[in-house]
Structure 1
Amino acid sequence: MSNFSDVMSYLGLATAEAATALNVSEDEIVRWCSTNEAPPLHIWQGLVRMLDEIRISAEEAAKSADLDHLEATDLNRIDLMVPGQAASDFAGPKRAATALAVAALARVFV
């Protein structure tokens, strides 16, 4: 495994999705995930953009919540969209953004 693979897992991207999002072949994604060969800088930058889109989406969802009327059951109904071009087309980044938003909002109950 590689750090690239770890980021891909965190984003919840399938090999085909990553290849589409990063505009490379699936073989390159597999190679970067399974060997020590690192992708070029522009690929890392693409992943950073996706991570930023996820973080921003989660932060916006948490900011827009009505904390005075938030109940624990509301946490299971959060459904948000991930803005941006890179992360918005795939289910994994949406799940990651939702998980971050739920975690941020759950802090209200801690």
Structure 2
Amino acid sequence: MSNFSDMVSYIGLTPSEAAAALDVSENEIVRWCSTDEAPPIHIWQGLVRMLDEIRISAEEAAKSADLDHIDASDLNRIDLTVPGQTTAEFAGPKRAATALAVAALARVFV
């Protein structure tokens, strides 16, 4: 595995989704994930933009929660949207953002 592969997995994209999001062939995604060959910088920058969209979405969801009236069962009902044209098209980034938001809110109970 490569760091590129780890980032794509963390974002929750399949190879075909990553190819569509980054405007490259699926073969290139698979090659960059399974070898030491690194993608060009604009591909890394595309992943960083997606990660930023996920982080911002999670932060906004956590900020908007009513911490005075939240209970543990509310953590299972968090629903959010991920901004950004590319990231919003796929379910994986939404799952990643939701996981980050739930983790931030769960800290209220620690």
Query: Under TM normalisation by the shorter chain, which class is it?
Result: over 0.9
Q: Can you give the 5+ residue segments of structure 1 that lack an aligned partner in the other structure?
A: none
Alignment identity in percent? Answer: 83
Equivalent residues in 2 for 1:36-55, closer than 5 Å: 36-55=36-55
1:92 partner amino acid: G
Distance 1:83 1:29 in 2: 23
Equivalent residues in 2 for 1:64-75, closer than 5 Å: 64-75=64-75
The DSSP-based 3-state class of the residue aligned with 2:86 is coil
Structure 1 residue ranges (4+ consecutive) displaced by more than 4 angstroms after TM superposition:
none
Number of residues of Structure 1 aligned to a counterpart in Structure 2: 110
Deviating more after overlay: 99-108 vs 78-87: 78-87
Aligned to 1:79: 79
Does residue 22 in structure 1 map to residue 22 in structure 2?
Answer: yes
Aligned to 1:6: 6
Distance 1:85 1:52 in 2: 13
Aligned to 1:101: 101
Distance 2:32 2:55 in 1: 24
Tell me by how many angstroms 1:89 deviates: 0.5
Q: Can you give the 5+ residue segments of structure 2 that lack an aligned partner in the other structure?
A: none
Tell me by how many angstroms 1:85 deviates: 1.4
Q: TM-score, normalised by structure 1?
A: 0.99
Distance 2:86 2:10 in 1: 15
